[in-house]
A and B are shown apart, each in its own frame.
Chain A
Amino acid sequence: MAQSNKPIVWGPFAAGGTITAFLTPVLILLTLLAALGHAPDLFAYGRMHAFAGHWLAKAAIAGTVFLSLWSTAHRLRITCYDLGVRADTLVAVIVYAGALAGTAASVLYLTRI
């Protein structure tokens, strides 16, 4: 029996799960504050534009988006199988492609900032 290539998809999943565990709650808090009318100072257009314009921030944002979407995709794939959807390869292609598309979109927008 050959060793699987699953680590290709599992590595980023584990990294993404870790990043989202540490970062996502506070990010949600930030946008929730903005939604409730207490927008943090960073959310002013000028400040946010300056922040996202920095190459380091762009790399961090792109990386975070990729890992977050990838870990979501991988978990969705497993969950679909758990729920009785047996077409694993098809589901895998759809979810991972979605994650890559979301990442590509974010990179595109970042280049325009």
Chain B
Amino acid sequence: MSERQVALEVLRYNPETDREPRLQRYSVTCREEWVVLDALNHIKESVDPTLSYRWSCHMAVCGSCGMMINGEPKLACKSFLRDYEGVIRVEPLMHFPIERDLVTVIDDFMAKLARVKPYLIPKQAKPVGEGEYRQTPAELKKFKQFTLCINCMLCYAACPEYGIIPKFIGPAAISLAHRYNQDSRDGGRDQRQEEIAATEGVWECSFTGACSEVCPEHVDPAAALQQVKIKSTVDWYRKHLMPWMEE
């Protein structure tokens, strides 16, 4: 098993002592097949136990270890050291306040997810005794792609509009709303539109497409957002030009 010497430049920030962040260089011996997360774990275990960062599954399903690696939003557990040359710069996910070291403040994101009512709101209440909601494979396929989001926030780090306009509800939240709107069992679209079709909803999106490029699960949030824009636009013109069509 071969080894390699890797230099990492990691952003450090101690909220109790530091006025602003600084970069700290670590040089560690790593295994050839390691990912950046392995290097961080090695640093924390053997070199500097004060280094703070989030991680959990180490297999790209929990969404915890999102970081900026050489300026690109990536999951640390999915970033192979062999793909990098020279010093690897590791910073907290962009566009979020820094709590400590590589840990970001994600309160804004969590609040936005909750705002879109990410749960099934049935068209008509149906007691459990009446049986399950049935769904064809085609109906499932319609929204399946948007269920794959692991809430890793890489899309928020990549989105330039979220960087400029912090109130923008963001790609993951809108994709999540779209996931439920497209679900045949759901009837809550009108309620979600209050959040999604607002100015800080989908209308701050300029279809940069960076969100879909960095998404590790291929959710394609950019697609969800454009679909929401078109549906919302059709709705608006119907409502204002043909009000008699309202149910």
Contact = CB atoms under 8 A, between A and B. Distances in A.
A7 B160 contact: no
Interface of A is mostly: helix
A7 B164 contact: no
Contacts of B230: 14
Contacts of B206: 78, 82
A55 interface: no
Given A78-B206, A82-B164, A4 B199 contact: yes
Interface of B is mostly: helix
A4 to B, nearest CB: 4
Interface in B192-216: 193-195, 197-201, 203, 206
A40 B200 CA distance: 49
A81 interface: yes
Interface residues of A, number: 14
A73 B164 CA distance: 20
A10 B229 contact: yes
A20 to B, nearest CB: 16
Interface string B205-246: 010000000000000000000000110110111000000000
Interface string A1-43: 1111111101100100000000000000000000000000000
Contacts of B232: 3, 7
Contacts of B194: 1-3
B233 A10 contact: yes
Given A1-B194, A2-B194, A6-B203, A14 B164 contact: no
Contacts of A4: 197-199, 201, 203
Interface string B39-77: 000000000000000000000000000000000000000
Given A4-B199, A7-B232, 4 more contacts: A1-B198, A1-B200, A4-B203, A6-B199
25 contacts: A1-B195, A1-B198, A1-B200, A1-B201, A3-B197, A3-B198, A3-B232, A3-B236, A4-B197, A4-B203, A5-B236, A7-B232, A7-B233, A7-B235, A7-B236, A10-B203, A10-B233, A11-B233, A11-B236, A11-B237, A14-B230, A82-B160, A82-B161, A82-B164, A82-B206
